[in-house]
Amino acid sequence: MMRTARQADLKVRLYVSCIAAAVIFMVVEAGLQARLNAQTPAAGRHGRLFPPQDLGLLEGPDRAAWQKPDQIMDALAIADGSAVADIGAGAGWFTMHLARRVGPNGKVYAQDVQRPMLEAIRRRVAREGLQNVETRLGAGSAPNLPARSLDAVLVVDVYPEVEVEERVKLLRNLTAALKSGGRIGIVNYKPGRGGPGPAPQEGVRVDSASVEGDAQAAGLRVLARQTLPYQYLLVLGR
């Protein structure tokens, strides 16, 4: 009888231990999921986002040679004292160019929809000792920018990451952040032209005609078109 009672007691303890372990597992799993969810705003839908762990791919030593940052900034009339936004700023490669161009009297809003990207930018800004960069967390087509305050908004290699049905809304929201006479610059890889961007067969390149159609639907017009080594630049305005 005593042996049977001990066996029953062991079974009860084993059962309780299993239940406790299951509860602990669910709590840990819920915590991990909450941390993952916190990395991206709940609101808004995005297409294929660039993975934060691959940020090093955006920092190639030859990028300035083919990206032509000065040509792009000149086309947008970005100068000393300008207020600008870098949409989908990633690790801040273009943010740094913008911050140096606008100088201490200017302002750069480095915007992204992924928190790890903004954290990387803040570390970079601190290393560079810059005081004119502010990070902004966006969500979907809502860029989270101050209204009617920007001279230019730059969208480099990000347009394909926006859901197709959200693109016109994004352009309208970016327009709402512009001062009178402000400009939006859209830089995308040319379809089928190779280069350092995504492979054409991946289906994430957007042709200029599609962007121009979205711009027209958003009440914008094309002010200028420029060709870069692997990309195209569209300058949009009211």
Q: Do the domain assignments include residue 89?
A: yes
| DSSP letter for each residue of 106-153 | SEEEEEES-HHHHHHHHHHHHHHT-SSEEEEE-BTTB----TT-EEEE
Range of the domain at 81: 52-237
- 131, 231: one domain: yes
Rounded Cα distance between 235 and 151, Å, is 13
- 3, 83: one domain: no
Q: Do the domain assignments include residue 16?
A: yes
Please report which confidence band the pLDDT of residue 62 belongs to, taking 50, 70 and 90 as the band edges. Answer: confident
Higher pLDDT, 14 or 220: 220
Which pLDDT does position 9 carry in this prediction? 53
User: Are the C-beta atoms of 171 and 140 separated by less than 8 Å?
Assistant: no
Which pLDDT does position 74 carry in this prediction? 98
- 143, 213: one domain: yes
Domain count, the chain: 2
Run of H or E residues at 189: strand 178-189
Give the tens place of pLDDT for each residue, 107-125: 999 999 999 999 999 999 9
Over 80: is that where the pLDDT of 65 sits? yes
Over 50: is that where the pLDDT of 16 sits? no
Please report which confidence band the pLDDT of residue 195 belongs to, taking 50, 70 and 90 as the band edges. Answer: confident
User: Which range (8-12, 158-162, 229-233) has the least confidence?
Assistant: 8-12
- 32, 66: one domain: no
User: Judging by DSSP bridges, how do beta strands 231-237 and 178-189 pair with one another?
Assistant: antiparallel
Rounded Cα distance between 156 and 168, Å, is 16
Residues in the chain: 238
Q: Do the domain assignments include residue 43?
A: no
- 28, 131: one domain: no
Q: Do the domain assignments include residue 86?
A: yes
Q: Do the domain assignments include residue 47?
A: no
Alpha helices in the chain (DSSP H): 2-38, 63-67, 69-75, 93-102, 115-128, 167-176, 208-217
- 29, 133: one domain: no
